[in-house]
Structure 1
């Protein structure tokens, strides 16, 4: 763990394990925090084992409706029995179509193709396009339905219908039980956060580990991995090195591919094809402003604005974090083809550019026309892995190679089976289970 003083506010860098790196951008007062989605409260329950009693450190928010923007105004996802913009027909027709559509025959399919085949072109081009941008900052015409939305894929495979499959619980994993999980379900939590910020989690992890004799190395970039004759790893750290019996890697797959030795070339090739996209996050705070709607936030289809992915209404989810005096907080996410084009051109990606785009989006889409009282901008380079068509085959290839070669290496993190914070917590738990051969007690 490191904390160092930057030019503007504190810059924090979190290192989890030898190969795990998570970064958080600079903050200036007042601190602005973005809520984290928690459809499955189990990872939060496991996190509480390190941080302490839930009631002392956590904040949760009940479910709020989402809205989307299309052709200018915000649109609420109503319209089941009657046509409601931006859809030309009631969504009931899409549901009836889905029930009679035969299942696909391909082992994988893009999200757009799957949705268009089962629910029609409008749902594919508006709803799922927006959802893929909001979750993955990606293109629904490239992302894999099997890897990005496995429950939808499994529902069609097992019940010939997505709607029937979801109603019958297709693809649903057995959920652990605890008082916290029961409370989350009863109160219909949709997000959870930590008092003091999400940095509380890695801070508590550091305390938990170091108190048990674990050494956490800071400022030690990994330059390469090599296998020794006795089957142990040599980890090169620039001007020093260390040996390890087993490595759990949580760095991006493409980064790990460049660290692997020549003997693992097939694995390196598979991992190198798992790419990632960049996202700019702009936190805005407005004094004396109000939102025109109440909700979690809204997503923006690529046909409406190729650069703005969506806006989260932070003050609606967690009003207790608005500061004193309170101010309206929103988070604008930018990325998609607009940002990819700028990166490909080698354009200057300045703080001023992202702030201008974010303020224009907040003014146009939410009517927040006054300048914000505070603004935080951070560009997360290559931060969200893209599970493109055939992603499952890459994972299968990597798993088979690790098993055949008996490499003491476990893959975890956002590059494989889930990009959200909760997914990464669960990925870490599963990695520990695989290495230990049993469920950890704490």
Structure 2
């Protein structure tokens, strides 16, 4: 027999008493929701602890430290925990994997990541409670908030003995923000394929949206060489120099490709001068130049985001065509590297969205729709999207990801944990 959620829990859900009649939770589900609320102080304390550890992708020690803390929590919940190391040549920390094996319900593959975009060389932005509805800090929603959300939902389930006989694999990668390449995802893909459903906990876009499709991401590098000499001879026998040539290429990229739906390309780094050096391990560039010397070298590094392999390959072909039309006495070369494939919206993903929608309506929160694939960047879930139904955007909500203004929505965070706990419970029955 189904019962309404007790009114004393409505405040934690962000709904009014007038919405109680819309709720349709069983007694175990209502108890599960209440358990999340009771455990919230511990959850927030743990979130603050991990946010205050720098875990930029290239800070291998920091990534591992966060992973060890997550692993300790998962061990307490009965998961077998291991660390998947990567070759030293990849300059990445590795991945955290936690597993439970049972026979009840669907086999779930839950995806998080331990790293952030904030490298150790950047100023540290600690966890700060801005006000009653907002917290700030590096990775507070992307995606330490999502990782802690997973653990909090599972902790509530374990408290109510609802994890017994379930099959759940939690995979938190150490290099989602800057992947070490195909070798770094080999184990990830192999383990995922043993499961029925993949759920990823990148940042939520509010309570009423999830991600059924998202773009892929690859990288590109533009290198330019030109004749050098006294600046008074530019535009004549020395040609145009490397910096003007780099500017030409970027302008044509924007002009010819900038209006295509779902396609974006961002030049995230550019340097030019008499000489250029770039260190992949630290993501640092150095250049030397003078105003009266025509620039001999230029370097641009960027990303390319797309929906589907066809769009990616078409864009690359056009970019190569633009690069080949160099200014006089300059020469440009562009290379591409695959990163994360796209996650195409599928009927199977849509069916998963409908399950989340039902959970949300039963909680009295209203409907849950699918966001425009173009509104999301790439994510680890895309590596396994061709093998099973997937959803993303199930994590923490907030604003300003990848910036010093990154925030977490404290009003929605408890509700998202509760929704996840109920979702996992229903999928594993």
Larger radius of gyration: 2
TM-score under structure 1 length normalisation: 0.30
